[in-house]
Amino acid sequence: MHIHPKTTPIYQTSVFTFEDLNALERYFDEPGQSYMYTRYSNPNSDELAEQVNKLEGGVGAVVTSSGMSAILAAVLAICKAGDHVLCAEEIYGGSSALLTQELTRIGIEVTLVPTSDLYTLQDYRQPNTRLLLVETMSNPLLQVLDIQRLAQETRQHRLKLLVDNTFATPVITRPLALGADLVLHSVTKYLSGHSDVTAGVVVCQQQEDLQRVKQVMMVYGLNLSPFDSWLAARGLKTLRLRMRQHSSNALAMAKHLQEHPKVEKVWYPGLEEHPHYELAKKQGQGMFGGMLSFRIKDDQEAVNRFMRALQNIPFAPSLAGVNSSISYPLGTSHRSLAKEQRQKLGITEGVIRFSVGVEEPEELWADVEQALAKV
């Protein structure tokens, strides 16, 4: 009997069996033809890697246990003790903490580069610099970077360009096509899309980098479980539909917020007033994503009143689910940053990050509007 399932089954196993020693030798002689151990590879994680790679247009991808382990795998694939890494100053707080607090302990030097200096790295590059890490759209204040310009600059200095494309997704921007060397995602966010998976992925432009990322994933045990791989691959099937709705809803929310008297500032690349609007429009196929941030008065009690008044939008320190949520960068994603650094970036007490879901926009705004009335 031949079984042809339309959906890949879940290979919930830690190990695969061999008929004999000849089969074992074939496993090593012909990589990718069979499986041995789920930490090395599994049909479910391979399916997810192939699907994401197809979207990003790389030579291959490696899935990992979280977005953080994807960053770790990518950096360790390129860098060793004694090497130097450049990182955009405005970036997810977890990425910053990994580099500046952990990787420095194992001998990797790190320098944070202000956004205004990212296209002129001459003063930051050292003889041992190997890598620049940036985000397509920065977390939480939605600065949009010109990937093509960055790629030209890093190529000139013989550095690898590693782009965290979590906020944009390949539906909006494909960094490898613009010259990046490696792309990573927290699959937890938009790629999976339903707030029920923790996963990461690294997509590579060069075969040599791909083999290194695979090696790091296997040896450090950064692999993703079969079930989470299966769930993420399932979520990925609706990515294009979701991103269109996230983007149109976020643009509607940004415009409403901009006109509200209690909102002091809105950060969303789809607003014509945004400093990177033209770049975002060109680099994003006319879509601007589902993330925005806005500032009410810099008073934590005012933020608390707003949060408590929301009836359908929870305060959840993550993002990108089909249901909207709000977050508070000062107390969550950027908590590990020094106060001076947060102030310099503009992450003040009144800044709220809004992950706009796929609900009906009129219902979303009605909830936000009545909550702002309580501020």
Active site residues: 39, 92, 164, 189
Q: How far apart are the first and last CA of the chain?
A: 65
CB 265 within 8 A of CB 375: no
Interior angle at CA 39, CA 35 and CA 45, nearest 5:
70
The C-alpha atoms of residue 335 and residue 140 are separated, in whole angstroms, by 12
The alpha carbon torsion through 334, 329, 91, 56 (nearest 10 deg) reads 130
Structure tokens that stand for 131 in this block: 């890598």
- Between CA 314 and CA 257 the distance in angstroms is 18
List of residues 6+ apart from 315 with CB closer than 8 A: 307, 325, 326, 327, 328
Number of residues written out for the chain? 375
Measured between alpha carbons, how far is 316 from 128 in angstroms, rounded to an integer? 40
Q: What are the residues facing 144 on neighbouring strands? A: 137
Give the Å distances, CA to CA, from 234 to 1, 8, 66, 115.
26, 10, 17, 36
Instruction: Report the run of H or E that residue 326 belongs to, with start and end.
Output: strand 325-327
Exposed / middle / buried, residue 215 (Cβ in 10 Å: 0-12, 13-18, 19+):
middle
Question: Cα–Cα distance between 99 and 108 in angstroms, integer?
Answer: 8
In whole angstroms, what is the distance from residue 7 CA to residue 236 CA? 13
Q: DSSP secondary-structure letter at 173?
A: -
